[in-house]
Amino acid sequence: MPAQRHKRVLLKLSGEALMGEDSYGINRSTIVRMTEEVSSVVRLGVQLAIVIGGGNIFRGVAPGAQGMDRATADYMGMMATVMNALALQDALKHQKVDARVQSALKIEQVVEPYIRPKALRYLEESKVVIFAAGTGNPFFTTDTAAALRGAEMGAEIVLKATKVDGIYSADPNKDPSATRYSRISFDEVIARRLEVMDATAFALCRDQKLPIRVFSINKHGALQRAIDGEDEGTLVHV
């Protein structure tokens, strides 16, 4: 076992990445590939909590939400994350991985509510815990939910699996000359307004001294390398 392997991590999975090549919803082969990677790290004995996004179904700030009351649109976005959480739980079941979904919004017939001690117990029992409905509050994001739940679960690190392979000096989708950092401090990320995660999430992790690693969801083996503390993507440190 590598000396640096993390024992308990909070993995943030992008909702948008679940779309794969599609323009909306959940792409079957993408979710299967993701859950194969997740199940292989769970088999190593790593305690894994997951926060899943919802951007593949609905975003409170999307053009489709224009003219809507922002809080209403955000509640729709949170409901979208519940759908993704159920799809992820089901896909993990096919990999013979036991997962529990806990929602920050009460939808009792569908998922159990978030109860911190229960979530901690699941982790100790080596069950994957999937946190749905973000923080349960409008005007927040699932990145902030990842920071919050990561801190509550006592995770050693927040692993953000996203479309880009790290944090760049500028948005690499807009500026092809942008260069990737292998390590960067929270203060620098915030001062330079690097937008791969929102400022609330960065600030919460900085205050809780909870490091973040940003890596590509599409790179085979990247999750394993991130779990093993290897130089993958970008590490944001205190």
Ligand X SMILES: O=c1ccn([C@@H]2O[C@H](COP(=O)(O)OP(=O)(O)O)[C@@H](O)[C@H]2O)c(=O)[nH]1
Ligand Y SMILES: Nc1ncnc2c1ncn2[C@@H]1O[C@H](COP(=O)(O)OP(=O)(O)O)[C@@H](O)[C@H]1O
Q: Select from ligand Y, ligand X, none the partner in contact with residue 74, using the beta carbon and a kind-dependent cut-off of 5 to 8 Å.
A: ligand X
Least distance to ligand X, CB of residue 63, Å: 12
**How far apart are CB 81 and ligand Y at their closest, in Å?**
11
Q: Token match 């079957």: residue?
A: 28
Residue 198 annotated in ligand binding: no
Give the interface segment with ligand X, choosing from 12-20, 89-97, 202-210, 212-220 (CB under 6 A). 12-20
| Closest among 117, 118, 147, 149 to 131, alpha carbons compared | 149
**Site for ligand X contains 149 (CB under 6 A):** no
Least spacing, CB of residue 118 vs ligand X, in Å: 20
Residue number, 77 or 172, with CB nearest to ligand Y: 172
Kindly state the smallest distance separating residue 62's Cβ from ligand X, in Å: 7
Whose Cβ is closer to ligand X: residue 113's or residue 138's? 138
Told to check if 150 binds ligand X by CB under 6 A, we report: no
Question: Rounded to 5 degrees, what angle do the CA atoms 78, 130, 160 make?
Answer: 80
Could you list the residues that contact ligand Y (CB under 6 A)?
A: 14, 16, 53, 55, 143, 162-164, 167-168, 170-173, 194-196
SS3 assignment, position 35 = helix
Sign of the torsion formed by the C-alpha atoms of 121, 100, 60 and 219? positive
Q: Which range, of 3-11, 13-21, 111-119, 163-171, touches ligand X by CB under 6 A?
A: 13-21
| Of 68, 35, 73, residue with least CA distance to 55 | 73
DSSP state of 13: E
Angle at 197 between CA 194 and CA 201, to 5 degrees: 115
Query: How far is residue 107's CA from residue 147's CA, in Å, rounded to a whole number?
Result: 23
Which 65-104 residues touch ligand X, going by CB under 6 A? 73-74, 77-78, 80-81
Give the span between the Cα atoms of 31 and 44, in whole angstroms: 20
Which of ligand X, ligand Y, none lies near 103, with the C-beta cut-off 5 to 8 A by kind? none
- Give the helix/strand (H/E) hosting 11: strand 8-13
The helix (H) or strand (E) run that includes residue 214 is strand 212-216
Q: Which residues bind ligand X (CB under 6 A)?
A: 14-16, 53-55, 59-61, 73-74, 77-78, 80-81, 134-135, 137-138, 140-143, 145
